[in-house]
Amino acid sequence: MRALIIDDSKAMRSILARMLRALEFEVVEAANGREAMERLQANGKFDLALVDWNMPEMNGFEFVRAVRAKQMYDGVLLMMVTTETEMENVVRALAAGANEYVMKPFTPEVILEKLRIFGMAGS
């Protein structure tokens, strides 16, 4: 499986990448939504994208909307992983097409549980 991690924090990308690689994901990273769109176009199919909300150039909400506007990316599961805790933002992200929403700080178990929901990790 292939995952795209989108976060302007190199440390956060590293933490998430380590977790996903341990589950045998191939991981590609991007520092913002614009860069992530370039990665999608250049690298073909991804199964999963973990998306921060607050980033420069193109934020995570804009990225979710851009991905969901293109039918060729319908199969990409989108998980927001963000410090945005306002219920209004959770609702907005899910309505825009995010499949799951995780609030930072999180534990590895929370990410693993979301991956189980997606059928991407064993029990």
Range of the domain at 93: 2-117
For the entire predicted model, the pTM comes to 0.95
Residue 31 lies in a domain: yes
CA–CA separation, 97 and 85 (whole Å): 17
CA atoms within 13 A on the CB side of 104: 17
DSSP 31: S
Spatial CA neighbour of 76 closest among 2, 21, 26: 2
Q: What is the pLDDT of residue 123?
A: 63
Residue 64 lies in a domain: yes
Spatial CA neighbour of 110 closest among 16, 6, 2, 13: 16
Residue 47 lies in a domain: yes
Residue 122 lies in a domain: no
Q: What is the pLDDT of residue 75?
A: 94
Q: 66: helix, coil or strand? A: helix
Instruction: Residue 105: give its domain's CATH number.
Output: 3.40.50.2300
The band of 11, judged by pLDDT with boundaries at 50, 70 and 90, is: very high
Residue 110 lies in a domain: yes
Number of structural domains found in the chain = 1
Question: For 48-68, what is each residue's pLDDT tens digit?
Answer: 999 999 999 999 999 999 999
